[in-house]
Amino acid sequence: MSKDGAFDLASGVGGKMSKADVICAVEKYEKYHGFYGGEKEEREANYTDMVNKYYDLVTSFYEFGWGECFHFAPRLTGESFRESIKRHEHFLALQLGLKPGQKVLDVGCGIGGPLREIARFSYTSITGLNNNSYQITRGEELNRIAKLDKTCNFVKGDFMKMPFEDNTFDAIYAIEATCHAPDAYGCFKEIYRVLKPGQHFAAYEWCLTNSFNPNNQDHQRIKAEIEIGSGLPDIKTIGKCLEALKEAGFEVIWGKDLAEDSPVPWYLPLDGGQFSITNFRATAIGRCVTKYMVRALEYIRLAPKGSERVQNFLEQAAQGLVEGGKKEVMTPMYFFLVRKPLSSGE
């Protein structure tokens, strides 16, 4: 089950690092980003350190406010947030045509919430690839609780240099994860390498839409807010994403921004004008309550120094995501399904 208490949140900030090191990690992480003078080139060159620090710092916040599945979803009228998350994961499994007994890879799996849901739904064996030790430890614990530790596992590794042989997996997916890659082509090329010929890769990707104007300072501010609060080196456009997939060797079967047809806006759980009992902690009011709770926990030293600053940059991301969603300049759910040809000449 998710860690949902105040003590769990406080004790989890920083992951496996010592509590005394949290403030130093916060300061170093902040300096990677434009709001603090950081450059895109530095974020890309040091993406492993940046993303690891980010997830060490924020995982307990994510689990406290969002549950085990760290992603958005298109939502139907009358559908709860939790139901939409499950349906989004099932849609991915159905698009891949997953079958019992297949060997599947989840690239950038977090603590494994989608991995467990898709494994139960499809009766497949899923390996979660993650480069963050704290998230893997937490995911293994949750797999044991769900009694999936015999069929699903986690591997520590960088998705730019995967620790797998060529042509290993029957299917591969990524849910809002490969946006952390410093180089989309390099990441997709590795996925191509470990996928069996003739098989499929599907993903939900964070992308800038065609409405994004790089010369618009407001759009650039929104982009920067999302990047610092989400551990991203640089958000790419939909066009660049598709270009990288094709360059890596994939045949694009179809792609679509699923946010376009969502009856309920994907950013609604974060919107300050909305209130939800079932997803209270993710709402603006819930995040405000969390902010003051974290401040109090830090003051009495139950939470390490720097915890409130982590909550602050997560709030910055929430505001950027809502604004980016309303202005339709960013989507967290550009879906694509691609295929690795049976041979290079196919």
**Predicted confidence band of residue 27 (pLDDT cuts 50, 70, 90):** confident
**pLDDT tops 60 at residue 36:** no
**For the chain, what percentages of helix, strand and coil (3-state, to nearest 5) are there?**
50, 15, 35
In a domain, 248, yes or no: yes
pLDDT in tens, 234-271: 999 999 999 999 999 999 999 999 999 999 999 998 88
In a domain, 12, yes or no: no
pLDDT in tens, 262-308: 999 999 988 865 544 445 455 556 666 666 676 776 666 766 777 77
In a domain, 8, yes or no: no
In a domain, 26, yes or no: yes
More confident: 64 or 322: 322
DSSP character for 283?
Answer: S
| Residue 226 one-letter amino acid | I
In a domain, 84, yes or no: yes
For 14-168, strand residue ranges (E) read 103-107, 125-130, 153-156
| Residue 94 one-letter amino acid | L
- 29-to-219, 232, 244, 296 alpha-carbon distances in Å: 23, 11, 27, 23
Q: What is the pLDDT of residue 7?
A: 47
In a domain, 139, yes or no: yes
The model's pTM is 0.87
What is the C-alpha separation between 104 and 151, in angstroms, rounded?
Answer: 11
pLDDT in tens, 160-193: 999 999 999 999 999 999 999 999 999 999 999 9
Structural domains of the chain, count: 1
Q: Which residues pair with 256 in a beta bridge?
A: 335
More confident: 306 or 141: 141
Any idea which residue has 């599947």 for tokens? 104
Q: What is the pLDDT of residue 287?
A: 62
What is the C-alpha separation between 202 and 174, in angstroms, rounded?
Answer: 7
**pLDDT tops 80 at residue 314:** no
In a domain, 4, yes or no: no
DSSP strand pairing (153-156 vs 195-208): unpaired
In a domain, 288, yes or no: yes
CATH number at residue 287: 3.40.50.150
- φ, ψ for residue 225 (rounded to 5)? -65, -40
**Predicted confidence band of residue 146 (pLDDT cuts 50, 70, 90):** very high
**Predicted confidence band of residue 229 (pLDDT cuts 50, 70, 90):** confident
Is residue 37 a contact partner of residue 30, using CB atoms and an 8 Å limit? no
**Three-state secondary structure call for residue 71:** coil
- How much of the chain exceeds pLDDT 70, in percent? 79
Lowest mean pLDDT of 35-39, 182-186, 198-202, name the range.
35-39
pLDDT in tens, 44-85: 666 677 777 777 777 877 787 788 999 999 999 999 999 999
- For residue 323, give its domain range: 17-345
Q: Average pLDDT of 101-118?
A: 97
